[in-house]
Chain A
Amino acid sequence: MPIQNPFQDPLRFERRVPECVVVIFGANGDLTKRKLVPALYRLAYDRRLSAGFAVVGISRTAMSDDEFREKMLDSVKRFSEDTKFDSDVWDAFAGGLFYIAGDIGDKDLYERLAKRLAEIETSRRTGGNVMFYLSTQPSQYASISSGLGSAGLGKGDGWRRLVVEKPFGHNLESARELSDRLHEVFAESDVYRIDHYLGKETVQNILAFRFGNGIFEPLWNRRYVNHVQITAAESIGVEGRGAYYQEAGALADMIQNHLLQVMATIAMEPSASFRATSVRDERSKLLRSIRSMTPDEIRQNTVPGQYGPARIGGQEVPGFRQEPGVDPGSQTDTYAAATFFVDNWRWAGVPFYVRTGKRLPKRVTEIAIQFNQAPLRIFENGDGASAPNLLIVRIQPEEGISLKFLSKTPGSGMKLRPVSMDFNYGSSFGERSPSAYETLLLDAIIGDATLYTRQDMVEASWTVVEPIQEVWRNTKYNFSNYAAGTWGPAASDDMLAQRGHVWRKP
C-alpha cells in the first residue's frame, strides 16, 4: 500500500490540513468568538480545510448544535477582519460545527465527547485525528487533560494534539507542575503552547530577514550592535479585565512569554535548518543564556510601574487603582521594563532593554537595534551628524522594517541628516497577511510546531522572570508612578541613562 499521496505538489498547492476534528474547550468564551472560529472560517474560505473538517465546541452553557452555529455565524460576521462573508462557504463550514454542554470537572462530559467524536469520525471520515484546544481558565488545563486521558481520548486511531493558551503556569514550579500533568496524557511533542506573537508575519519575517540575507548576520553581534530595545506598548487600559490583570501584571502577562520569545527570535543563533526542532532548540538555547539577576541587580535593572489617572484627548481616564474590580491599594505592575544581558559570545555586554505597559501614548510593538557609531566622526557640522544607525522591526500596527542612516543634506557644504528607508510589509505587498491565529491553527493541525513554545522554553523564561517577580512582590512601591498617556515612569528612563542610553519614542 502506498504510504504517501503521489499527487502532492508543494510548489503549487496551498498547505492544507488533514481531515480532523478540533475540539474547543471554552467555546462560549471571547477567544473562540473573536479569534478561533473567525480564523477557522477564514481557512475554510481559503479552501485550506478538508471536506470532513469538524469543530466540537464545549462549554457550560446549554446550547444545541444549531444554536452554536448561529452564535458562531454572528462571531464570524462581526470579527472576521478583511474577509468577505460567503454564505456557501459558511454553510459547508457550519455543517461541521457541533456543540456539547457540560462541566469540565464532570466525567460524563468526556464520555459524551468520546461518543460524539466516534460519530463524527464515521460520518465525516476524520481519520481519528483530533486537536483539543483549551481556551479556558489556565487553572482548568490540568483537569481537562486528565479528563481526556481518563476517557481514553488522549490516544486514538489518528493523531491527538493539545493546544494551550498562555499563561503556562504563574512561576517556574507551577509551569513544571502543569507540564507534568499534561504529560500524563500527552507527549511533549503533542503539546502546542500557543504564543500568538510568534504567529505574526513580521516575527516570522525576522527569521527570513536574518537568515535569508547574507548582509545582516555579520553585523548581528556585540561588535556592531550597541544595544537593543524591545517595546510593546498599549494605549488602552485593562478594559474590564482588572480582576484578571491584577493577578497577572505586565511582567508575567507580556514579558515572560511574548517579549522574551521575540527577544529570542532576534538574538538566537542561526539554526541548521528550518525544522521545528532546530529552530526551537536555538530559541531555547538563547532563553537559557539570559543572565539571571541577583536582587540588587534586579533593583538596578528593572522598573515596575502603574498608571495613574490623567486627561487624554479631552477625556478623563482613570488610574489602574480606580478601574472596576481593582484593589485601591493594588501593587500590580501595569508597566514593566527590564535590562537583560545574554551570556554568550555573540551578545556579551550588549543590553537588551525590554518594556511593556498599558495606557502608554500609542499602541505599538517594535524592536530597535541600535548600532555603534562610526569609529571616527569626521562630520560634525550637521544637526543629526551623530545619529546612530537604527534598524527597526515593527511588529504592529504597521508591520515593516526601517533602516535609519545618515545622508548628505542637498546643497553646498557637508551637512548630514538622518533618513529612513522603509519597507512596509502591508503596502509593499498588496496581499492580505494571514492573522496569527490562522497561521498557528494551520501549523498545529499540520503538525508543525516551529512557532510554538516548548516546555524547556517556558521554564527558561520563568527562570529569568521569577526572581524579578520575587523582588517586586517584596517591595512596596509608591504607585501610581506614571500618568496614563505617558511613556512610563521616570525610573525607566534612569535605568537606560545609567548606560548612556535613552528610550526611543516609537
Chain B
Amino acid sequence: MSTTISPDRILKELAELWVTTSKEGAGDAAAGVLRACSMTLVVLAEESDDLQALGETVAALMPEHPARAIVVKLIGGQERALSERVYQQCWMPFGQRRQICCEQIELTASDASLEDLPSVVLPLTVPDLPVILWCRTSRILSMPGFYRIAAMARKVIVDSYGAADPEAATLRMSVVSRSGVLLGDLSWTRLTRWREMLSQVFENQEYLARLQNIRKVRVGAEEGLAVAARLMGVWIRNALSAAGIQTELEVTPAAPGGPSLRVELSGEGIGVELVREEDRLVITVNGLSNCTNLSRPTDYLLMREELAIVRHDPVFDRTLESAAALVYPSDK
C-alpha cells in the first residue's frame, strides 16, 4: 500500500477512462456516453462494512443522484496509510441506446491518515457541485479529524440506528448540528413514512377537530430504534405544542416480542395508534384500522431521500435540539 496519493494522477486516470469508454461506444453511430453529475458523494465506511453491498447501494443511487462517488475504506491502525483505485459504473437506461456513466474512486485510509484525507478528497470533488459526506461509521463523529472532514461537505449524513448509547448519540449529533454542520440522520429518515401516515390521519377534518383533546403521546421502540423513538416522540410533542396543545410524552423500550415501534396519541374522544406488523404499518384511529405496506427501508431508500434534501431541514433541526434537551435538560 502506498502512503501517498496524487489527486492529479487520479483525475488523469478518470479522464482516460472517459476517453476509453467513448471509444468503445464509437462503433455504434447512435451510441455514446452521457456523463451526468449532480454532486460528489463521499462515503466513509469501516473495512468490516459489507463493501460489496455498499457498492450496490451507491450504484443504485446514481440514476437519480448522478455523482462522483468517493468511497473511503477505513482500516484503523496508527500507521499513516492511503491508497486508491479508480473505476467507472455505466448503465443503459431502459429503451435508450446511450449509456450513462458515473465515476467511482475508492480510497483506503488508516485512522492515522484521516488528517490527510481532506487534502486528497478536496481536489477530487467535482467543482461547483455540493459534496455530501455519508458517515457509515458512528465513531468518526468523535474522532479528532471529523470537523476538518465535515468542513468539506455541504451535508453530513449519519445513522444513529443501533447506537450503543442512544443518549450520548443524540447529544453528539446535536453538538455537531449546533456547530453549523448541516446534518442528516437516517434514523430520522426512517420515520418519514410514519410521520406522513400520522399527518394523513389529521387530514380528515373530523379527527383534526379532536386534535386539541390529545393529552398523552407514548412511543415504544426496540433497542436499535431508541434514538428514532425519541425523535418521533419529540416531533409529535413539538407539533402539538405549536398548535397550542400541551401533552405528556413517554418514550419506553418495546415490550419483549412486541412491535419494533409503536406510537400512540390519546385523549378524550381520540385515540390514534401506529404499529409496525412485519411489513405493514397498521394505523388505528378510534378503533378503525387501516394498513399500508411498510417494508423495512434499505440504505438505498433512506439515502435516496436524504440526497434529495441538500439544505437545512428545519423540522429535523428543531426535533434534534428538543431531543437533546430531553436527554440533558441543562445542556445548552
Question: Which A residues contact B (CB, under 8 angstroms)?
Answer: 1-2, 4-9, 11-14, 16, 18-19, 47, 50-52, 88-89, 125, 127, 422, 424, 426-431
Residues from chain A with Cβ under 8 Å of B292 in the complex: 47
A4 to B243, CA, bound (A): 9
Q: Are A127 and B64 in contact (CB under 8 A)?
A: no
Q: A2-B212, A424-B34 are in contact. Are A9 and B315 (CB under 8 A)?
A: yes
Residues from chain A with Cβ under 8 Å of B93 in the complex: 426-427, 430
Task: Give 20 A-B contacts (CB < 8 Å), ordered by A residue.
Answer: A1-B208, A1-B209, A2-B208, A5-B199, A7-B195, A7-B239, A8-B199, A9-B199, A11-B309, A11-B315, A12-B195, A16-B203, A19-B204, A47-B292, A50-B204, A127-B205, A426-B96, A427-B100, A428-B36, A428-B66
Q: A430-B62, A430-B64, A430-B93 are in contact. Are A5 and B196 (CB under 8 A)?
A: no
Residues from chain B with Cβ under 8 Å of A12 in the complex: 192, 195-196, 305, 309, 313, 315
A16 to B293, CA, bound (A): 17
Q: Are B212 and A7 in contact (CB under 8 A)?
A: no
Residues from chain A with Cβ under 8 Å of B212 in the complex: 1-2
A164 to B72, CA, bound (A): 56
Q: Which of A9, A125, A427 has the most CB of B within 10 A?
A: A427
| Distance between A326 CB and nearest chain B CB, rounded to angstroms | 34
Q: Are B199 and A430 in contact (CB under 8 A)?
A: no
A105 to B39, CA, bound (A): 59
Task: Determine the residue in chain A with the shortest Cβ distance to B239.
Answer: A6
Task: Determine the residue in chain A with the shortest Cβ distance to B201.
Answer: A7
CB-CB nearest 8 A-B residue pairs? A430-B63, A7-B199, A6-B243, A6-B239, A5-B202, A427-B93, A2-B243, A428-B36
Residues from chain A with Cβ under 8 Å of B203 in the complex: 5, 16, 18-19, 50
| Distance between B88 CB and nearest chain A CB, rounded to angstroms | 16
Task: Determine the residue in chain B with the shortest Cβ distance to A1.
Answer: B209
Q: A1-B209, A7-B202 are in contact. Are A431 and B195 (CB under 8 A)?
A: no
| Distance between A95 CB and nearest chain B CB, rounded to angstroms | 11
A430 to B199, CA, bound (A): 29
Q: Which of A4, A50, A127, A429 has the most CB of B within 10 A?
A: A429
Interchain CB contact (< 8 A) of B64 among A11, A52, A431: A431
| Distance between A87 CB and nearest chain B CB, rounded to angstroms | 12
| Distance between B233 CB and nearest chain A CB, rounded to angstroms | 13
Residues from chain B with Cβ under 8 Å of A14 in the complex: 196
A125 to B208, CA, bound (A): 13
Q: Are B98 and A427 in contact (CB under 8 A)?
A: yes
Q: Are A7 and B198 in contact (CB under 8 A)?
A: yes
Residues from chain B with Cβ under 8 Å of A424 in the complex: 34, 96, 98
Those of B241-277 within 8 Å (CB) of chain A: 242-245
| Distance between A75 CB and nearest chain B CB, rounded to angstroms | 23
Residues from chain B with Cβ under 8 Å of A11 in the complex: 309, 313-315
A430 to B245, CA, bound (A): 43
| Distance between B237 CB and nearest chain A CB, rounded to angstroms | 11
Sample of 9 further A-B pairs with CB below 8 A, known A6-B211, A125-B204 = A2-B211, A6-B202, A13-B199, A19-B204, A50-B203, A51-B200, A426-B93, A426-B96, A431-B64
Those of B79-109 within 8 Å (CB) of chain A: 93, 96, 98, 100
Question: Which B residues contact A (CB, under 8 angstroms)?
Answer: 34, 36, 62-64, 66, 93, 96, 98, 100, 192, 195-196, 198-200, 202-206, 208-209, 211-212, 236, 239-240, 242-245, 290, 292-293, 305, 309, 313-315
Q: Are A6 and B240 in contact (CB under 8 A)?
A: yes
Residues from chain B with Cβ under 8 Å of A127 in the complex: 204-205
| Distance between A12 CB and nearest chain B CB, rounded to angstroms | 5
Residues from chain A with Cβ under 8 Å of B315 in the complex: 9, 11-12
Interchain CB contact (< 8 A) of A431 among B63, B200, B209: B63
Residues from chain A with Cβ under 8 Å of B204 in the complex: 19, 50, 52, 125, 127
Task: Determine the residue in chain B with the shortest Cβ distance to A12.
Answer: B192
Q: Are A13 and B196 in contact (CB under 8 A)?
A: yes
A47 to B243, CA, bound (A): 27
Residues from chain B with Cβ under 8 Å of A8 in the complex: 199
Q: Are B206 and A125 in contact (CB under 8 A)?
A: yes
| Distance between B298 CB and nearest chain A CB, rounded to angstroms | 16
Q: Are B313 and A16 in contact (CB under 8 A)?
A: no
Task: Determine the residue in chain B with the shortest Cβ distance to A8.
Answer: B199
Task: Determine the residue in chain A with the shortest Cβ distance to B209.
Answer: A1
Q: Which of A7, A424, A430 has the most CB of B within 10 A?
A: A7
A428 to B64, CA, bound (A): 8
A427 to B198, CA, bound (A): 35
Residues from chain B with Cβ under 8 Å of A125 in the complex: 204, 206
Residues from chain B with Cβ under 8 Å of A9 in the complex: 195-196, 199, 315
Residues from chain A with Cβ under 8 Å of B63 in the complex: 429-431
Residues from chain B with Cβ under 8 Å of A430 in the complex: 62-64, 93, 100
A52 to B290, CA, bound (A): 10
Residues from chain A with Cβ under 8 Å of B192 in the complex: 12-13
Q: Are B34 and A427 in contact (CB under 8 A)?
A: yes
Interchain CB contact (< 8 A) of A2 among B36, B100, B244: B244
A5 to B244, CA, bound (A): 12
Q: Which of A1, A6, A19 has the most CB of B within 10 A?
A: A6
A484 to B204, CA, bound (A): 55
Residues from chain A with Cβ under 8 Å of B309 in the complex: 11-12
Residues from chain A with Cβ under 8 Å of B66 in the complex: 428-429
Residues from chain A with Cβ under 8 Å of B208 in the complex: 1-2, 5
Interchain CB contact (< 8 A) of A88 among B236, B239, B243, B293: B293
Residues from chain A with Cβ under 8 Å of B199 in the complex: 5, 7-9, 13
A47 to B280, CA, bound (A): 14
A329 to B23, CA, bound (A): 56
Residues from chain A with Cβ under 8 Å of B100 in the complex: 427-428, 430
A231 to B251, CA, bound (A): 61
Q: Are B240 and A429 in contact (CB under 8 A)?
A: no
| Distance between B100 CB and nearest chain A CB, rounded to angstroms | 6
Q: A6-B240, A11-B309, A430-B62 are in contact. Are A16 and B211 (CB under 8 A)?
A: no
A422 to B98, CA, bound (A): 12
| Distance between B125 CB and nearest chain A CB, rounded to angstroms | 20
| Distance between B213 CB and nearest chain A CB, rounded to angstroms | 11
A2 to B203, CA, bound (A): 12
A22 to B100, CA, bound (A): 41
Q: Which of B198, B204, B236, B292 has the most CB of A within 10 A?
A: B204
| Distance between B286 CB and nearest chain A CB, rounded to angstroms | 11
| Distance between B139 CB and nearest chain A CB, rounded to angstroms | 28
Residues from chain A with Cβ under 8 Å of B242 in the complex: 6
A185 to B111, CA, bound (A): 73
A430 to B202, CA, bound (A): 34
A428 to B62, CA, bound (A): 10
A430 to B196, CA, bound (A): 25
Residues from chain B with Cβ under 8 Å of A19 in the complex: 203-204
Q: Are B64 and A429 in contact (CB under 8 A)?
A: yes
| Distance between B188 CB and nearest chain A CB, rounded to angstroms | 9
A412 to B98, CA, bound (A): 30
A397 to B81, CA, bound (A): 51
| Distance between A344 CB and nearest chain B CB, rounded to angstroms | 35
| Distance between B141 CB and nearest chain A CB, rounded to angstroms | 23
Q: Are A50 and B240 in contact (CB under 8 A)?
A: no
A424 to B93, CA, bound (A): 11
A98 to B198, CA, bound (A): 28
Task: Determine the residue in chain B with the shortest Cβ distance to A127.
Answer: B205
A14 to B239, CA, bound (A): 18
A202 to B274, CA, bound (A): 39
Task: Determine the residue in chain A with the shortest Cβ distance to B202.
Answer: A5
